[in-house]
């Protein structure tokens, strides 16, 4: 009888002292931080029409900043590389909004569809958007939808040189 | 402190106490376990979610800040990360280091885990200001292909877990209170349960006591269809079977006693005639031829022994039939004993050791039978001198008969008062009837006394009789 009572008391104490916060060893806390890079990724085209990655600045920046660099062509070392996206008279101070919903990035371009020449021009924009998105910790399987001031938006697209 | 009486100890160790203790223990343990389980679960969830929230917030703020930084960073870039985070923080890149607040709690273990790692590392550590969560965040460079590698930038944060500890302690206190509140409820329920279960057991005990006291008609009233009802039914069946067996045995015993009494009674008349004839023959023994004399002497002795046996049988039959009643009167015991010895011519062989006077209320005739049988037995089976010792206190008279013989063989004392017991098994026929000691014991018991047989130190057999001194006179 006494032994049973003692065992019960010990069990109660063990149970009730089990609910305290104790020091621990090192344990996993999830994914690390990212978002740092040696420059903003911008895709230009070489003479063969292939996409080439350029980094005209020293920090990663945002999707909007990368697109503005693409549109304005401020890369002094671009050499023979060129772009098939022409801004025309759109002010350079304008921010280009990009919204992310799940695995879809929607970019609202402040230009009509005709300012982008052909599929290569679309690929330049999509690859630039995806490169920034992935380097900021986004999913590599994301797709990009481009909207224009006129005409219909593009279908969700991926970048041909990012190997998905 | 009051000593516990045997009754208290019985109550504490009784079925009721054990049943209540078991019920209370189970209920309290169940309540404590449930409370603990919920408190532990809530505490763990709270702790995990708090830790994850702190870690996720730190990682998100760093990830939000990092795209604006130049790589490789300088001290200014590291400060931007530091400024984006609240509380104590250290940001390092190779030999560069910026910090804010008290960060001494950060352990070498955490630094080792973060260095070159690709996941956040967390650790809880006690400090002088309470429990802290240490967060180590490696900053990774993600390539455009999704591949990641360490950038060399590491961020360490120290976050206070005081609020969580307080909430967990509150949950624990609630669990303790819940367990404590379960105790009175459990006691109440256990009392009710014990009452319901033990009532039939108490009835069983009462009925069993009635049966033991001789009320063979006592029965339980089974109610319900549970195990206790089955037990009651089985008990009733057992009692009925017992009653039937006892009644049968009693009938058979009564028949056999009646038979013995009838046989003894029927033998009396012819034996009286035989005894008369034997006495006549005895008177004429001198005139008989010597070859016939031995046979006639043997016939006379056997006739007398048979008469004595029949008298003893009738006495025993009277005891068995409950017809024997003591005729109580005030007697002087030493006087009765002296008369008993004198009338049987034993005064030479027996020494009486008694006070001059010793009054008591007893059956004179039966006392004479007790003394005569014990002394006769001592002279027959022991050796003279025989000592008869009398003494008394306020309540009892003590009578001891000690002989000078070899004493009782081992194991004989227990059967000495059985009917037809012969101390010497080789003597199938002896001068005694084999009923003398049984009659002696019956006479002692009739007075409400006790008789014991054993061996005296330095002497032979010792018989000790205790009789109540002041029985009510009839």
Question: Which residue reads 């309290």 in tokens?
Answer: B28
d(CA B386, CA B371): 12
Write down the pLDDT at residue B444. 92
Q: How confident is the model at residue A94 (pLDDT cuts 50, 70, 90)?
A: low
pLDDT of residue B428: 41
Mutate to test the interface with A, among B142, B155, B174, B186 (most CBs of A within 10 A): B142
- pLDDT confidence of residue B315: 78
Looking at residue B1, what DSSP letter applies? -
pLDDT in tens, B205-251: 888 898 888 888 888 887 777 777 888 888 888 888 888 888 888 88
Residue of A19, A25, A41 lying closest to B36 (CB–CB): A19
How high is the pLDDT of residue B426? 39
- Residue A135 Cα to chain centre, angstroms: 6
State whether residue B421 is helix, strand or coil: coil
Q: State residue A9's pLDDT score.
A: 63
Instruction: Over range B446-456, report the average pLDDT.
Output: 90
List the single best residue of A26, A42, A140 to mutate versus B (max B Cβ within 10 A).
Answer: A26
Residue A16, pLDDT above cutoff 60: no
Kindly indicate the confidence band of residue B6, based on its pLDDT and cuts at 50, 70 and 90.
low
pLDDT of residue B423: 56
Whether residue B144 and residue A25 make contact (CB cut-off 8 A), yes or no, is no
Judging contacts by C-beta atoms under 8 Å, the chain B residues touching residue A35 are: 62-67, 139, 142
Query: With bands split at pLDDT 50, 70 and 90, how would you rate the model's confidence at A28?
Result: very high
The answer to which of B171-180, B373-382, B415-424 has the lowest mean pLDDT is B415-424
Most confidently modeled range among A83-87, B142-146, B246-250? B142-146
Residues of B in contact with A59 (CB under 8 A): 67-71
Pair B24, B186: CB distance under 8 Å: yes
Q: What percent of chain B has a predicted confidence (pLDDT) above 70? A: 94
Residue B424 has pLDDT above 60, yes or no: no
Confidence of residue B11 (pLDDT cuts 50, 70, 90): low
Distance CA B435, CA B432 (A): 8
* pLDDT tens-digit series, residues B282-306: 888 888 787 788 888 888 888 888 8
pLDDT band at B78 (very low <50, low <70, confident <90, very high): very high
Determine the distance in angstroms separating the CA of A135 from the nearest CA of chain B, rounded to an integer. 5
- pLDDT score for A60: 93
Residue contact B63–A137, C-beta within 8 A: yes
- Is the per-residue pLDDT at B142 higher than 80? yes
Mean model confidence pLDDT for chain B = 85
> What is the C-alpha separation between B119 and B115, in angstroms, rounded?
10
Share of chain A above pLDDT 90, in %: 49
For the residues B69-74, what does the mean pLDDT come to?
92
Q: Within 10 A of B10 (CB to CB), how many other CB atoms are there?
A: 11
**Taking Cα atoms as reference points, which of B432, B439, B438, B434 lies closest to residue B305?**
B432
Strand order in the sheet with A104-108: A98-101, A104-108, A143-147
Given an 8 Å threshold on Cβ–Cβ distance, is A26 in contact with B71? no
What is the C-alpha separation between A116 and A129, in angstroms, rounded?
Answer: 15
pLDDT at B402: 93
pLDDT at B429: 46
To the nearest whole Å, the CA of A150 is away from the closest chain B CA by: 30
What pLDDT digit, counting tens, does each position of A53-77 carry? Answer: 988 888 999 999 999 888 887 666 6
């Amino acid at each position: 009888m006494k032994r049973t009572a003692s065992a019960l008391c010990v069990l109660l104490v063990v149970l009730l002292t089990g609910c305290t916060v104790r020091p621990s060893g090192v344990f996993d806390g999830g994914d690390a931080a990212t978002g740092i890079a040696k420059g903003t990724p911008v895709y230009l085209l070489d003479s063969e029409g292939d996409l080439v990655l350029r980094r005209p600045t020293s920090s990663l920046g945002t999707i909007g900043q990368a697109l503005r660099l693409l549109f304005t062509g401020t890369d002094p070392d671009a050499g023979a590389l060129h772009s098939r996206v022409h801004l025309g008279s759109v002010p350079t101070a304008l921010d280009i909004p990009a919204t992310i919903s799940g695995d879809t990035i929607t970019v609202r371009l402040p230009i009509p569809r005709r300012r982008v020449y052909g599929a290569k021009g679309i690929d330049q924009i999509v690859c630039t958007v995806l490169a920034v998105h992935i380097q900021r910790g986004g999913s590599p399987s994301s797709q990009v939808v481009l909207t224009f001031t006129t005409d219909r938006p593009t279908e969700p697209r991926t970048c041909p040189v990012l190997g998905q | 402190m009051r000593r516990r009486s045997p009754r208290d100890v019985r109550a504490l160790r009784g079925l009721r106490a054990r049943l209540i203790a078991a019920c209370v223990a189970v209920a309290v343990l169940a309540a404590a376990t449930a409370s603990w389980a919920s408190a532990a679960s809530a505490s763990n969830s709270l702790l995990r979610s708090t830790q994850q929230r702190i870690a996720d917030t730190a990682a998100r703020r760093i990830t939000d800040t990092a795209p604006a930084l130049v790589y490789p960073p300088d001290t200014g870039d590291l400060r931007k990360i530091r400024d984006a985070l609240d509380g104590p923080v250290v940001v390092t890149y190779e030999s560069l280091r910026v910090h804010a607040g008290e960060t001494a709690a950060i352990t070498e273990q955490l630094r080792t885990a973060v260095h070159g790692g690709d996941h956040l590392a967390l650790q809880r550590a006690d400090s002088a200001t309470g429990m802290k969560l240490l967060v180590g965040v490696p900053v990774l460079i993600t390539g455009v292909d999704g591949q990641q590698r360490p950038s060399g930038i590491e961020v360490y944060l120290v976050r206070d877990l005081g609020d969580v500890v307080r909430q967990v302690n509150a949950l624990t206190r609630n669990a303790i209170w819940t367990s404590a509140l379960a105790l009175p409820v459990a006691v109440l329920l256990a009392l009710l349960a014990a009452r319901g279960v033990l009532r039939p057991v108490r009835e069983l005990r009462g009925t069993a006591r009635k049966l033991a006291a001789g009320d063979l008609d006592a029965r339980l009233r089974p109610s319900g269809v549970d195990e206790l009802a089955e037990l009651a039914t089985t008990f009733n069946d057992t009692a009925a079977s017992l009653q039937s067996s006892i009644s049968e045995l009693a009938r058979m015993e009564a028949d056999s006693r009646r038979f013995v009494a009838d046989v003894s009674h029927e033998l009396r008349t012819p034996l009286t005639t035989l005894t008369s004839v034997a006495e006549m023959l005895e008177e004429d023994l001198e005139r008989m031829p010597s070859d016939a004399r031995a046979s006639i002497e043997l016939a006379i002795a056997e006739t007398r022994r048979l008469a004595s046996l029949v008298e003893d049988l009738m006495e025993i039959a009277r005891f068995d039939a409950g017809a024997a009643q003591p005729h109580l009167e005030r007697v002087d015991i030493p006087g009765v004993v002296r008369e008993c010895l004198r009338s049987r011519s034993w005064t030479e062989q027996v020494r009486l050791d008694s006070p001059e006077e010793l009054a008591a209320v007893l059956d004179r005739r039966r006392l004479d039978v007790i003394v005569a049988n014990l002394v006769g037995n001592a002279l027959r089976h022991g050796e003279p001198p025989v000592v008869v010792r009398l003494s008394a206190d306020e309540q009892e008279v003590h009578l001891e008969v000690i002989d000078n013989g070899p004493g009782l063989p081992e194991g004989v004392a227990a059967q000495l008062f059985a009917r037809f017991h012969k101390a010497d098994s080789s003597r199938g026929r002896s001068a005694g009837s084999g009923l003398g000691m049984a009659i002696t014991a019956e006479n002692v018991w009739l007075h409400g006394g006790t008789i014991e047989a054993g061996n005296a130190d330095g002497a032979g057999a010792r018989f000790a009789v205790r009789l109540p001194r002041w029985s009510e006179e009839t």
